[in-house]
Amino acid sequence: MQGSSRRTGTMTDVHRRFLQLLMTHGVLEEWEVKRLQKHCYKVHDCNAPVEKLEDFIHNINSVLESLYIEIKKGVTEDDGRPIYALVNLATTAISKMASDFAENELDLFRKALELIIDSETGFASSTNILNVVDQLKGKKMRKKEAEQKEGEFTLHTRAILEMEQHIRETYPDAVKICNICHGLLIQGQSCETCGIRMHLPCVAKYFQSNSEPRCPNCNDYWPHEIPEVFDPEKERGAGLSKPSRKSLRPRQH
């Protein structure tokens, strides 16, 4: 196809429909992805056994590689839910999309991003963001245009997945890293003595069934509440509907 000698997978209509439907979501939870996969098999190829999700996605990703996009797996920062999102790997393409947003809108996003990264909690208040509006490049934006909701803004999991690399490169000093997984950290817990930080799900895993949690770095008592490790079975059993959680945090989409 492209004359490349890479060992790429094969796309069938099952994969195509999956990709099409996946693209209508910003981000999907693992169980939703599995359901999507089953649906696509049913539509196109009833008898074939449903491939293991990991392999299925890996296959698609090998084809997507030449397009510089990827179905990336991540974990929500607040409760450790496994999620998937289709992300863009080529940062040069990003500036092209500037044609869809006004300069002042882009600048606002950039500045809000900086506020979030610099913040202690990983959240930037709407007040702080609004204060930035006066300094924006481009056409003067009225505060009313910038306003979303009362409250605080943070980065959606999807944004973290997609922009992690860019953020680490652009803000190498301000950026926070998790001590356990070494990934980008926006929200998390921190040790009050030595300052190291950990994602909530990383805390959950690390201190699982440990009655006396101590900081892995300085050994001081870990002062925060240890969250539960995410258990997909327990969740489905309880019949909780997850969509409501998504709306908890106002998001920049």
Partner 1 sequence: MPGAPTYPQFPLRAPLSGRRASCSDAEVPACRGRAPAAGDMLPKPRSRGRPSSQADRDGGRGGDGRAARSAAAEEAPSTSRGAGGSQDPRRSSSQGGRRADAPLVVGPRSQKQLELKVAELVQFLLIKDQRKIPIKRADIVKHVLGDYRDMFPDLLHRAAERLQYVFGYRLVELEPKSNTYILINSLEPVEEDAELRGDQGTPTTGLLMIVLGLIFMKGNAVKETEVWDFLRRLGVYPTKKHLIFGDPKKLLTEDFVRQRYLEYRRIPHTDPVDYELQWGPRTHLETSKMKVLKFVAKVHNQDPKDWPAQYCEALAEEEDRARPQASAPSQASARSQTSTRPPTSAPSQTSTRPPTSAPSQTSAPAPSS
Query: Which residues make up the interface to partner 1 (CB under 8 A)?
Result: 1-4, 11, 13, 16-17, 19-21, 23-26, 28, 35-36, 39, 42-43, 63-64, 66-69, 86-101, 106, 109-110, 113, 156, 158-159, 162-163, 165-166, 169-170, 253
d(CA 248, CA 53) in angstroms, rounded, equals 29
Question: Smallest gap, in angstroms, from Cβ of residue 2 to partner 1?
Answer: 6
Residues 6 or more apart whose Cβ sits within 8 Å of residue 84: 22, 27, 28, 29, 30, 33, 57, 71, 72, 73, 74
Closest CB 238 distance from partner 1, rounded Å: 22
Query: Ramachandran region of residue 182, left (φ > 0), alpha (ψ -120 to 50) or beta?
Result: left
Q: Which residue has the tokens 């106002």?
A: 250
Q: How far apart are CA 196 and CA 246, in angstroms?
A: 28
Which three-class secondary structure state does DSSP give residue 73? strand
Residue 58 or 234: which CB sits closer to partner 1?
Answer: 58
**Closer of 15 and 180 to partner 1 (Cβ):** 15
Residue with smaller CB distance to partner 1, 133 or 215: 133
Could you give the count of Cα atoms lying within 13 Å of 78 in the half-sphere of its Cβ? 11
Give the nearer residue to partner 1 in terms of CB position, either 91 or 127. 91
Query: In angstroms, what is the minimal distance from the CB of 72 to partner 1?
Result: 11
CB of 88 to partner 1, least distance (A): 4
Nearer to partner 1, 213 or 250 (CB): 250
Q: How far is the CB of 75 from partner 1 (least distance, A)?
A: 17
- Report the C-alpha gap between 250 and 154 in whole angstroms: 8
Q: How far is CA 166 from CA 45, 52, 212, in A?
A: 39, 31, 37
101's CB contacts (< 8 A; 6+ apart) are 109
Give CA 4 to chain center in angstroms: 31
CB of 175 to partner 1, least distance (A): 12
Contact 207, 226 (CB under 8 A): yes
Whose structure tokens read 């500045």?
Answer: 111
* Closest distance of CB 182 from partner 1, Å: 18
Q: What distance in Å separates the CA atoms of residue 2 and residue 10, rounded to the nearest whole number?
A: 14
Angle between helices 13-22 and 30-44 (to 10 degrees): 140
**Of residues 90 and 218, the one with the C-beta less far from partner 1:** 90
When the beta carbons of 160 and 198 are compared against partner 1, the nearer one is: 160
